[in-house]
Each structure stands twice: as C-alpha cells, then as structure tokens.
Amino acid sequence: MDRPNVAELRSSFTSPHELLRASDGRTLFLRRWDAGPGATVSVLIFHGITAYSGPYGPLIAESLARAGFNVFGMDLRGHGLSDGKRGDYPSVARWERDLCETVAFVKARAPRLVLLGHSLGVLSAIRAQQLRPADVNGLILLSAARKVRPGVLGSASGIQVLKALVAVGILRGTPLIGYRREGMIGLDDPLFNFRYSARFYTVLYGAGALRVARMFRSGDVDSPRLRFDGKLRIPLLVGVGDQDELFPSESVREFWQGIDCDAKEFLLIPNARHAVFPKDAWGPLIDWLRRAC
C-alpha cells in the first residue's frame, strides 16, 4: 500500500477538526465530534495500534456526541493525518510532550475532560493522566490487559518479531516490523499503519527491544506503562468485549482489579470484539460518564 500524502489529505479535510502545532513545529491532527451548546464534558480518544482517529467516529465517538459529550480523537505522530514518520516515534520525551500538549489543548476547550484509551491507546491514556493529573476528570480504558489470548499472535509471528527487533538494533527508527493478526480492520485504508519501528514499540511500551520481543512471544504484556503511580483518585472505567479476540475478559478484569482506585467500575460489553462493537454497546458507558464525570 502506498504511503499517503498526509499534508495534502489534511488540507482537503473538511469535517470538524483541530490542528495542533506541537512544540517542535510539527502538526498533530485531532478530529472533533461536537455535541452542541451546553456540553460540559469532553472525551479525548487515543487510538490503538495500526489505527488513527477516523474509525472511532462510527465506532464510539458519534454515539458519545449524540449523548451530549464533545469528543476529540488524536492521531498519534506518524499516524492518520498527523505529521511524522509513519510507524515510528522519535523518543519517549517527544511522545510525552505530544500527550501533554494535546491534553492541554483540549482541556482549554473543556470544563471537564475524560481520557479514553483503546487497545494500545490505553498506554497513551494512562501516561497522559499521569503527566497532567490536574487536567483529567475521568479515565476509560478499553480492550487492553497484561495477558493476550493464547495463540492469537501465533508462534511464527512471535519468532519473526524477535528476529526483527534484534536485527534492527542499528535501524531502530526504520519501520521494518510488520503487525498482523486475525480479525484486523483497516486493511484497505491507506491511513492505517501495518509496519512499525523497533523504536516505536520501545517508546510506547517503555521497555527495551528484547523485552518487547518476549512480550510478543509469551503473550504477557510486561510493560511499566500499564502500572499506575500510586492510588488513582479519579473515576475509572475498564471495559472489554465478551468476544474480544485479543484479550480475554478475565485478563482485563484482572488488570482492573489490580488498579488502586476507590471509584472504579468494570464493563463487559456483549457481542463485542476487539475493535468491532454493536451500535447499542455504549449505553452503560454513557451512563457511567453522566454519573461519574
């Protein structure tokens, strides 16, 4: 699949959006789904691996906007319509600054802000909350845990990932590592990424290349990014589809149980997969937003 001309696509994009000029001069792209006058809570979505903010419109953002919440979706650097090398992140410091600057940008437009991370976006949501705790009024973590469903990545792909991570030790910023699994969406969308650099994985997972490789081989997500700094003092909702093909619900519940938070709830979503949810899936999540945030 050809690499998209991001600048050209961005300049022709006419739906509601924001362009955030990051502190290094690069442009970060945020989609917007507006609830209309009177909305007091905004939700900022962090997308999963391979994806970008666009698919989250029909997935969840449109439902939240109809329910009265303003919604923003960030395209990570190197994803969607944001600037940056596709499938790479230059450093942990740059990732953290992008998160902080995005949260500050949205918070300036929102009396109350809830972060929503989906799949790999859970790592971004947790880190953003840790870096800007005064700006965040609630946290939603969907479809992520410390243990992947056995066999879902396949033993061969695990070995390939291990070899690739070791082989690109001197080419850490080059997107050489393919990401594939059963049930993936976006295969025909040029804005999806399916190749990543070793550096991207080490930045997002907060671990060295060999440790990341062991995660892929074992299915145990041994990432410090899934840990909280002490007690979480804002409302938390952790959810997963009962048919999620990547994370079994018991693993997600175990992750939820391990978080020290007095105001936490667990949501098991019927008839939902990892990135495919029924249209009526979000009623309990919307009720939680109205009650808790």
Residue 157 has pLDDT above 90, yes or no: no
Both structure tokens of 178: 């393919």
CATH topology of domain 6-149+225-292: Rossmann fold (3.40.50)
Question: What's the rounded Cα separation, in Å, for the pair 259 and 244?
Answer: 21
Instruction: Calculate mean pLDDT across residues 122-148.
Output: 97
CA distance 15 to 63: 17
Instruction: With beta carbons less than 8 A apart as the criterion, state whether 259 and 42 touch.
Output: no
The terminus-to-terminus CA distance of the chain in angstroms comes to 42
25 vs 23: CA distance, rounded Å = 5
224 DSSP 8-state letter: G
Separation between Cα atoms, residue 272 and residue 166, nearest integer Å: 36
Instruction: Give the pLDDT score at 154.
Output: 55
- Amino acid, res. 14: T
Cβ atoms within 10 Å of 257's Cβ, excluding its own: 10
Give me the pLDDT at residue 163, please: 58
pLDDT at 158: 55
> Could you tell me how far CA 95 lies from the centroid of its own chain?
13
Token pair listed for 143 = 């479809």
| Residue of higher predicted confidence among 158 and 271 | 271
C-beta separation of 204 from 123 below 8 A: yes
pLDDT, residue 215, reads 84
Residues in the chain: 293
Read off the pLDDT of residues 214-272 as tens digits, 9 standing for 90 and up.
888 788 999 999 999 899 999 999 999 999 999 999 999 999 999 999 999 999 999 99
Residues 6+ apart with CB under 8 A from 182: 152, 245
pLDDT given for residue 177 in this prediction:
80
Residue extents of the structural domains in the chain: 6-149+225-292, 155-216
Q: Average pLDDT in the 93-113 region?
A: 97
Given this model, what pLDDT does residue 251 score?
97
Positive/negative CA dihedral, 1, 79, 43, 184: positive
Task: Quick: pLDDT tens for 168-180.
Answer: 566 688 887 888 7
Per-residue model confidence (pLDDT) at position 161? 60
Mean pLDDT of the chain: 92
pLDDT at 156: 45
What pLDDT sits at residue 225?
Answer: 96
pTM, two decimal places: 0.94
pLDDT at 160: 61
User: Structure tokens of 127?
Assistant: 């880190």
Q: pLDDT-based confidence at 49, cuts 50/70/90?
A: very high
Q: Which residue has the higher pLDDT, 101 or 229?
A: 101
